């Protein structure tokens, strides 16, 4: 809910008028937290796998669904639902539901390339938004979140992107107990 409120604050179009009324001036530079000396790369729009889901991906989905403890956090979820479909016809890898909230999980097996990992970050953003929209439409508190679970170490630039976009990433071992 706090994220939605912040989104509304950023979308508000009348800040200049309010600043004028209060005798303040708008900041002219970029948002300090987003300033960087590094040249930002454009989002990847290709290069990911177009093959059917690998056996490794399917096994990871099943393992995550059966091991909700891997999610961490305050809510104690039960077993997840694999390939849960949204009203938009998008499908998430695993959905965890609880009376206090829902968690959408995108998984990337060890054989995922960097482009697949980046796509997973953006999928998490989409799934979080869809979860919250469906919860609102059902008159529920929109306490939906998302998580990217991967079997491989995420490269630093992709972790920075995930952090910037507010996507949690969790690495799990390939050989699971």
What are the extents of the domains in the chain? Answer: 52-171
pLDDT reading at 151 higher than 90: yes
Q: What is the pLDDT of residue 20?
A: 79
CATH number of this structure's domain 52-171: 3.40.1350.10
Report the predicted TM-score, pTM, of the whole model to 2 decimal places: 0.76
pLDDT at 4 > cutoff 80: no
């Amino acid at each position: 809910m706090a994220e939605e409120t912040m989104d509304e604050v950023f979308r508000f179009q009348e800040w200049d008028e309010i600043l004028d009324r209060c005798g303040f001036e708008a900041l002219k530079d970029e948002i300090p937290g987003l300033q960087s000396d590094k040249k930002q790369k454009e989002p990847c729009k290709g290069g990911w796998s177009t093959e059917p889901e690998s056996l490794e991906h399917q096994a990871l989905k099943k393992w995550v669904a059966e091991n909700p403890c891997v999610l961490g956090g305050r809510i104690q979820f039960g077993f997840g639902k694999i390939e849960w479909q949204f009203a938009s016809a998008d499908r998430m890898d695993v959905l965890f539901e609880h009376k206090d909230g829902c968690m959408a999980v995108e998984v990337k097996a060890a054989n995922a390339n960097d482009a697949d990992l980046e796509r997973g970050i953006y999928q998490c953003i989409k799934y979080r938004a869809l979860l919250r929209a469906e919860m609102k439409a059902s008159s529920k508190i929109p306490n939906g979140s998302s998580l990217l679970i991967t079997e491989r170490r995420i490269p630093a630039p992709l972790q920075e992107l995930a952090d910037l976009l507010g996507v949690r990433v969790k690495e799990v071992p390939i050989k699971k107990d």
